Structure 1
Amino acid sequence: MGRTSWSEEHVRWLRENYRKLHPRDIHAAFNARFGLDRPWPAIRDAAKRRGITGCKPPSIFTAEQKDWIRANFPRHRRPEACRLFAERFGATPDAAQVMRWAKANHVRSAWDGRYRQGENRGGENWRKMVAHPNSIATRFSKGRRPDNERPMFSERVQHDSATGAPYVLIKVPLPDPHRPHLHYSWIRKALWVWREAGREIPEGHAVVHRDGDTLNCELGNLDCVPRAVLIWLNAPWAPGYAGPDANPARVRIAQIGHAIARLERTAGPLSGPAADDGDRA
């Protein structure tokens, strides 16, 4: 068998049409153009030897089928459009292939994701959840309060996260600034007792316990002092806690020390000739 010859016109035709057509169309068009009967493997190998590659992959859809999808898909939803396609062209290509081709070629259907009034969404045949009869007794009904809810003015002990000291919280009918939907709040009992007695807590002041027992919230055991006094109570040089009987004196010493320091800051130490004359006198 002699070697098949390829003229310049053959090669030029392959370069112009190879990437535009499918392999089956290239085979038929080449033989029809030049009146030959060359098999597809020979045409493919000749193009490959000359660096001509990348022919268009074959498609399972004909031109008529593609035109039908582009014309009818926008007017129907996908299941209906696929059914009409099968009635027109048969079961091949199937519905999944039709939808994949439409999506790949940006052909949208009439479905916009919204149900129309009166449409069946497919949920009427779902099995409804059947509650156990014993759950009736424990269901939450309107107006019912939780069993673990504490009554108003209940008390509980909590520990400070920094010092670990215990303090008493009381539930009062005041709105919670951190949870506005609640009609109550938990505040320190010492503050509540002080305010209920008609006494104010000025800005920059704090309520302290005279005997040092933070769980004793009796009014006679409370005192309102500037916050600067707390430094004198908690400083390393401050007198140590010596029991509930001596602690009131400890608080007074801290108040006196704070008052002296404030006067020194305001008036300043005596200095100059007048102070010297006074010292000599």
Structure 2
Amino acid sequence: MPPTSQWQEWQCDYLRENYPHGNTNAIAAHLGFPPQRIRTKANELGVAKAPGAKAKRTGKFTPQMDDALREHYATKTNAEIAAMLGMKRIEVAHRAMTLGLRKTKETKGRTVREIMLRMGPRQGQFQPGIVPWNKGLKGYSVELGRSHYKPGNVPPTHVPVGTERWTATPKSKPDAPRYLRRKVAEPNVWKMVHHIVWEARHGPIPDGHVVVFIDGDTANIEIENLYCLPRTSLGIANGARVPYHLTDAYRLMRELQQTIEDSDK
């Protein structure tokens, strides 16, 4: 059998003409090459299968069978149609895809139920009334015959109160700001350090308010660089690019401007 480099021109022409819509195995048998050699050569020649070609390659459906398929496909399962036409279910599915046929929602549900019945009961599936053997045995080890954890066990990831860590940025926003957190209580209570610094000077942060960094640097956690403002003002500052401490004045200016415009109408 000749290698790919010894292909003759008429063989290449035949491949260009028949590969997009033809059966690869039939083309291989006609040219005397294995199917994989046919696919490789088609790729070298830049020839690809046409859309839907795989669904059309059986070539067993007559016009009368196509009419029957159009009539019954929406309301019958592929198994029922295959038995009626003397075909395989996969051949029915391929031909229906070629003809652009779709099943109704009810038929799809019936198809799923038939598939589940053919598969039989699922191995390991819990049946109603079954009580799991490990119910109430939290952390139970079959090998040890007891719980993995003893009273007072400290996990290896434990860190003491006062530990500080930077928050991680989401993969979707790698340039998002990071904030320093500090562990303030056991077992796993953390708080933003800039909140701690603000509250040490001014007391608890009011509801609906946020503490921001005046220079935008989240690593500059000095009290002079922190400012507390309502969330509504934060939207104004970010949207109108107004300094945080001027948001109240900006809002009053906009309200005055709107009042003047309304009076002129």
TM-score by length of 1: 0.34
Larger radius of gyration: 1
TM-score by length of 2: 0.36
